[in-house]
Structure 1
Amino acid sequence: MRGYLRVYDFTRLNAIKGVKAVNQQSIEPGLSLHADYRFGSSPFSAGASYLYATPFNGCPNPATHLQPPCGGYKPPTTSLNPDDTLPGYALNTLYEAYVQYKDPHLYAKVGDQVINTPWANASDSRLKPVAFQGADVAYTAGGGVSLELMDMTRFESRTNSAFDDKTLLTAVNNLGSNPGLPAYRYFPGGHGVSNGGFQYGRVGFAGQHGLTTNLHLYHFDDIASLTWLDARYTDQGQKSKPYLALQAGRETSTGSALLGQIDAFAFGAQVGANVTKTITLALGYDQIPQHSATVTPPAGTTCSAAHVAGAKAGFSLPYFIGSNAPSCIANANGTTTYLYGGFASPYTDSYATDPLFTTSISQGMADRRAAGNGVKLSAGYTSPDKRLVFVTSRAYYDYGNRLGQQQTSEFDADLQYFANKPRPGAYKGLLFRYRYADREQANTAQYGGAPYFKYNRAQLEYDF
């Protein structure tokens, strides 16, 4: 038996520099328990994880967050709305229940489980991790080669207590304040749209001289197919352990294209090194080129004077376009040019947990669903006894195009303190973590975005 007790205090400052908005705060503890049982000396085992959490403000039902005193406040006000990304309501879930086989070469797990792949992962920065329902099989061959196949049919977000057949991009009225299904995509009933989950394959290589590489293949049912390549080389002969990491990916819509046409390509690079025994530096860059299409505008679609594409009730745009950035122009000849090219990430959207080198604490390029480029400089300090870890970063993003400018910048700080000295294996003991994100989005108000945002996240955790 193992588990953790977490207490979070999340504060979001939205009413900054004259912006008419309401600030948010949620304080909530959560207890998670995990148990494993091995069947004798065999390679078979079974496991389960359970979590219960409830907020301190006496508003455990998310439905009550739509009106005072639990939420629903409008500006101007000094009252606080809840931060339901924590969430600010109760959770009660058995999020893992599986059987597992594991020997030196073969690994298989079937059931409800937490997984770790670049574009579908645990996203564990709140009370509970994301979980998936399905099967995962991995095989470790000789020479550093590994293979993996996965089929996940259902999904439990980090702010839900049940598995369902929707994603972060196809659900509406998402618990946890996720943007969900784009407003320009219409499906009858207003309840979002189901899909069959995703299938995943991986071929990996881990060499003995500092080279690792992986080819990842995703099929997000009726949404998109994604090919993702990552590679990293570390010069192990140098004390500073300098490294070069590369990433590239291509995503195209597939099946019934629930989110519209997707055509995205990304590439990035990161360099880093240990400046001293306790200090690291890293610099990353990502680019997602833009695509355009000039067509006769479909019935019911709109293109505003601010170059924001939309659709009237009951109609849909045919393209997957970015958020809070210029996306269309109405031409004099009656056609409309749409600008698109961003990544659709059904299981990390709005979580800021995608694999791009430039993703920050509060947001990344995939969360904006837009084409553009980004650069991020980060520095880290780890004390000699490993008990104190501090990481800070500064990132700049450009989502502008020939129709208008939209630049975003973010400063982050992340401090962790471990009461006990961390040792190999899972940490046990008390830890404190504090994260701060300060984001500014220039020229975004005309595209529907918030120009300023500050995030404070305090976490007290006991692992046992």
Structure 2
Amino acid sequence: MYKHVLSIAVVAGLGLISFHAQADSLSNIFTQAHVDGQFRSYYFSRIYSAKNPDQNAFSTAMLLDATTGTFGGGFSLTGTFLSANSFGTQSSNPAAIDTTLMGPGNSISSMGQAFLQYRNQMATVRAGYQYLNTPWMGKSDSRVAPATYNALSMQLTPVKGLNVYAIRTFEFKSRTSRGYFSTNLYYPHTFNGDNMYGGMEGQIPASAPSFKGTWAFGANYAANGLKIRGWYYNFMQFARMSYVDGSYTMKTGSGINPFIGAQWVHETSGSNNQFVTNNVSLYGAPGSQVKNNTWGMEGGINIPGGRFQLGYDKISQEAGAVGNGAIISPYTAAYATDPLYTTSMIRGLVEMGPGHAWKAKFTYHFLNNHLRLMAAYAAYTTIQRGNSHDLYFDITYNFDGYLKGLSIRDRVERSNQSSSGVWKGVNPNNGSFTYNRVMMVYKF
């Protein structure tokens, strides 16, 4: 409880001066309030070449967002309610359910966001249940429900183009959870009563202490084709991460604009590391410390209506380290929502450990941007999980007129195993795995 009280007290203190200096009417809370949301209907199917059950799941969900008008010189309240239902379509065989969509049950209802915000020309402060948008700690919004955090967050914009961030998270609500828990994606899926599916469940034993949360500090800057961002994360008792990436786009004036980019990750252990203390064999490799060094580069070209990009990433092998030098990513592991250039829809190097990968991707828009086509190919060469390659297609149509706000998207990716690794392959029995996601969204 003290976590929630502390967060609200900090925000209230920051706005105290503005509260006395301005005389905003409390009636603004209602007269300037607005409600919006999304209706989502998703069907996911997993098809395996190996002799294990194919999996599928269907879910329809409503996300309803309500925000009050501004009061007290900069305060507002926001709440998001989620309700998802499979309408009895879940298989009676648990092994045949794609539990990453909404878990094994038939319905989920929960409060996604519920935060108090204070905002002025330079700062935005939020306290409570909220979405986050950082490279390694975000919404991971590819299921019916986004991931959310019980957190205190602050954004400062001291000059145009520069944003500075400070975040303290206390609890995490996964994409299938019904509430907030002191966990992350390495914990068992029912830890402390949670209902978390789709992560790296069970790497940390059920006997381990609860996750203590995360401190994060970051900054980004953008001007004249240059974009740079840097972040530090203290995933307490899991890893300390430093992350930097940047890109530059050359504006030629012809509509054909080349770009280049680079990224770097470095991780070390903190005190009482849970992987070390519990002798966790991540990807078949226990270790005495967390140590990771990753770098990547990308280049490509923007053309009228389209974009081509080619990326490369390498994770160094670190003898004696957890996962043989794997990236520890408590909020993206198995979600495949990390910022590495070579991450695919199904997985990336975060889910495979040390090795290297390259990925080519092409995106093009047709019909006045109503239709978007995307294709990608990625190849992975890793020590712990062998060699594999993924082929990806993505088509999205955005409606207009009376149906404005409606979009239909079909994503399909096929992963093929070339050879097994020191630990095991990425797909069951080293076979192929095809993942199809049909997603209809209506925004209102």
TM-score category, normalised to shorter length: 0.7 to 0.9
- Distance (Å, rounded) in 2 between the aligned partners of 1:386 and 1:192: 50
- The one-letter amino acid of 1:33's match is L
- The one-letter amino acid of 1:443's match is S
Please state if 1:175 is matched with 2:196. Answer: yes
Q: Contact (CA 8 Å) 1:138, 1:146: kept in 2 or not?
A: yes
Alpha-carbon distance, 1:103 to partner: 2.2
Alpha-carbon distance, 1:382 to partner: 0.9
Distance of aligned partners of 1:199 and 1:160 in 2 relative to their CA distance in 1, 3 Å threshold: same
Please state if 1:195 is matched with 2:216. Answer: no
Match of 1:461 in 2: 441
Please state if 1:46 is matched with 2:77. Answer: yes
- Distance (Å, rounded) in 1 between the aligned partners of 2:272 and 2:72: 47
Count residues in correspondence.
Answer: 387
Please state if 1:70 is matched with 2:92. Answer: yes
Cα-to-partner distance string for 1:91-115 (whole Å, 9 max, x where unaligned): 1110100011222211111100001
Match of 2:290 in 1: 262
**Counterpart secondary structure, 2:112:** strand
- The one-letter amino acid of 1:117's match is T
Q: Contact (CA 8 Å) 1:385, 1:421: kept in 2 or not?
A: no
Q: Contact (CA 8 Å) 2:221, 2:228: kept in 1 or not?
A: yes
Q: Contact (CA 8 Å) 2:383, 2:421: kept in 1 or not?
A: no
Cα-to-partner distance string for 1:210-229 (whole Å, 9 max, x where unaligned): 11111101000111100000
Runs of 5+ in structure 2 lacking a partner?
A: 1-34, 277-288
- Distance (Å, rounded) in 1 between the aligned partners of 2:401 and 2:262: 33
Q: Which one of 398, 404, 411 corresponds to residue 381 of structure 2?
A: 398
For residues 6-45 of structure 1, the aligned pairs below 5 Å read 6-14=40-48, 16=49, 19-40=50-71, 42-45=73-76
Distance of aligned partners of 1:428 and 1:32 in 2 relative to their CA distance in 1, 3 Å threshold: farther
Q: Contact (CA 8 Å) 1:171, 1:193: kept in 2 or not?
A: no
**Counterpart secondary structure, 2:68:** strand
Alpha-carbon distance, 1:400 to partner: 3.0
Q: Contact (CA 8 Å) 2:388, 2:419: kept in 1 or not?
A: no
Q: Contact (CA 8 Å) 2:298, 2:310: kept in 1 or not?
A: yes
Q: Which one of 247, 266, 271 corresponds to residue 250 of structure 1?
A: 266
Please state if 1:320 is matched with 2:322. Answer: yes
Distance of aligned partners of 1:144 and 1:460 in 2 relative to their CA distance in 1, 3 Å threshold: closer
- The one-letter amino acid of 1:268's match is G
**Counterpart secondary structure, 1:292:** coil
- The one-letter amino acid of 2:217's match is G
Alpha-carbon distance, 1:258 to partner: 0.5
Q: Contact (CA 8 Å) 2:326, 2:350: kept in 1 or not?
A: yes
Distance of aligned partners of 1:350 and 1:421 in 2 relative to their CA distance in 1, 3 Å threshold: farther
Please state if 1:380 is matched with 2:363. Answer: yes
Q: Contact (CA 8 Å) 1:84, 1:175: kept in 2 or not?
A: no
**Structure with the bigger percentage of helix:** 2
Q: TM-score scaled by structure 2? A: 0.83
For residues 10-409 of structure 1, the aligned pairs below 5 Å read 10-14=44-48, 16=49, 19-40=50-71, 42-57=73-88, 59=90, 70-72=92-94, 81-88=96-103, 89=105, 90-142=107-159, 144-173=161-190, 175-182=196-203, 187=205, 190=206, 192-207=208-223, 209-238=224-253, 239-260=255-276, 261-275=289-303, 277-293=304-320, 319-321=321-323, 340-368=324-352, 370-400=353-383, 406-409=386-389
- The one-letter amino acid of 1:230's match is D
Q: Which moved more, 1:427-436 or 1:132-141?
A: 427-436
Please state if 1:418 is matched with 2:398. Answer: yes
- Distance (Å, rounded) in 1 between the aligned partners of 2:232 and 2:225: 24
Q: Contact (CA 8 Å) 1:135, 1:150: kept in 2 or not?
A: yes
- Distance (Å, rounded) in 2 between the aligned partners of 1:161 and 1:459: 22
Q: Contact (CA 8 Å) 2:386, 2:424: kept in 1 or not?
A: no
**Counterpart secondary structure, 1:128:** coil
Q: Contact (CA 8 Å) 1:386, 1:421: kept in 2 or not?
A: no
Please state if 1:430 is matched with 2:413. Answer: no
Q: Contact (CA 8 Å) 1:172, 1:192: kept in 2 or not?
A: no
Runs of 5+ in structure 1 lacking a partner?
A: 60-68, 74-80, 294-318, 322-339
Alpha-carbon distance, 1:291 to partner: 1.2
Distance of aligned partners of 1:177 and 1:244 in 2 relative to their CA distance in 1, 3 Å threshold: closer
- Distance (Å, rounded) in 2 between the aligned partners of 1:31 and 1:240: 40
- Distance (Å, rounded) in 2 between the aligned partners of 1:119 and 1:178: 14
- Distance (Å, rounded) in 2 between the aligned partners of 1:410 and 1:23: 19
